[in-house]
Amino acid sequence: MARAAQLEELGTAPPLSAGEWLRLNRAVVIRHAVINLFMVIILLPLAWVLLMSVKSLPDAMRGNLWPRRFDFTHYGFVFTKIETLPINLFNSIYVTAATVLITTICAVLAGYALVHLRPRGGPFVVAMLLASLYFPTRVVSIISIYEIQSFLGLINSTSGLILPYITLNLAISVLIMRSVFQLIPHELMEAAKIDGAGPWRTLWLVGLPMARNGLVVVFIVNFVTAWGEFLLCTTLTNDQTARTMPVVLAGAQGGLGQWAWPRLAAVYVIVVTPGIIAFTFAQKLFFKGLAEGVVKA
């Protein structure tokens, strides 16, 4: 083991026969084999649904893993032939964008204030936010959230979903921004203050640029939650046209016609891809932010 590691580090191992190399590096080979097995397990369900979305209809019914004939028309079909699909997709984009935007603004303002403005009662607010993480708020509060929404006339309203959605991750978002702002030296903020900048300008010009990584984490966390929220949407809306795309997908029974399996899979791929692509591009910032915000919090 130790010798294999040494060889691995040197990189200029003397020429070896294949069998000997394998014997020396057995631990390395097994390690990578196990890691890759896990990677395959993670990716396989996604690969399956991607493959399903380009299968021909008879292949989908037969259930063969690899199709005999590919059919790439499903993506066009779901956009042109399923009337409710653009509506549901729009609902998802609208609700998610509003939720992410408002929650992020709230979290930045609150996180900044809690660390650098030190308001009276700040520690109490932090304690309440922390406590809410240990209570199954989302599940238990659904009864009175229904009451609030019906009092406000927001039952079956897509826009109405935004209000409870904002709070789903509000506590954790504020706590993340708080620990990100804690990394910014207080002297830096004081210096801006002495230069005559008010708290708003200090936040905008000094705080925000340094909180970038944390912002990415808050963005992604809130995007993922709002984009895939089920419980509130299914409880607070009745009509399919008021619902978001994932909730419609969860209720769809695979079968024939417009909800034939490959078409369902095509809708799925359309809904799941934006998040994965956005994350892949932002992953560097995301991991940095995770280290600054979550691990410390």
Partner 1 sequence: MAQALTSRWPRARDGISPWLFLVPAVAFFVGYQVYPIFRVVWISFTDYQFLTNEPARWVGLDNYAVALNDPLMWVSLWRAFLFTMMFLPGTIILPLLLAILIDRVTSPRLATVYRVILLIPAVIPSTLVFVLWKWMYNYQVGPINHILVEVLGLFTVHNAPQWLGGTSLTLPSIAIMEIWWGLGYHTIFFLAGLAAIPKELPEAARLDGANEWQIFWHVTRHGLQPIMMILIVLRFGTSMAVIDEYLIFGGFNRDSPTYTWTIYMYDQAFKLGMWRQGFAAAIGMIGAVVMMFFVAILLYIFRRRG
Binders of partner 1 among residues 27 to 66 (CB under 8 A) are 31-32, 34-35, 38-39, 41-43, 45-46, 48-49, 52, 60-61, 63-65
**Tokens, residue 182:** 């804690």
Task: Provide, rounded to whole angstroms, the least separation between the CB of residue 166 and partner 1.
Answer: 5
CB-side neighbour CA atoms (13 Å) of 289 = 24
Q: How far apart are CA 255 and CA 268, in angstroms?
A: 15
Task: Provide, rounded to whole angstroms, the least separation between the CB of residue 77 and partner 1.
Answer: 18
Task: Give Rg (Cα) of the chain.
Answer: 25
Among 81, 135, 191, 238, binds partner 1 (CB under 8 A): 135
270 scored as a contact of partner 1 (CB under 8 A)? no
Q: How far apart are CA 117 and CA 270, in angstroms?
A: 44
Among 25, 89, 160, 164, binds partner 1 (CB under 8 A): 164
152 scored as a contact of partner 1 (CB under 8 A)? no
Q: Which residues contact 286 (CB under 8 A, 6 or more apart)?
A: 213, 216, 217, 220, 279
Task: Provide, rounded to whole angstroms, the least separation between the CB of residue 252 and partner 1.
Answer: 8
167 scored as a contact of partner 1 (CB under 8 A)? yes
**Tokens, residue 283:** 């992953």
Q: Under rule CB under 8 A, which residues in 201-260 are in contact with partner 1?
A: 220, 224-225, 227-231, 234-235, 246-247, 249-250, 254
130 scored as a contact of partner 1 (CB under 8 A)? no
Task: Find where tokens 């970038």 sit.
Answer: 212
Among 24, 54, 100, 107, binds partner 1 (CB under 8 A): 107
- Are 71 and 89 in contact by the 8 Å Cβ rule? The answer is no
Task: Provide, rounded to whole angstroms, the least separation between the CB of residue 31 and partner 1.
Answer: 5
**Tokens, residue 146:** 């229904």
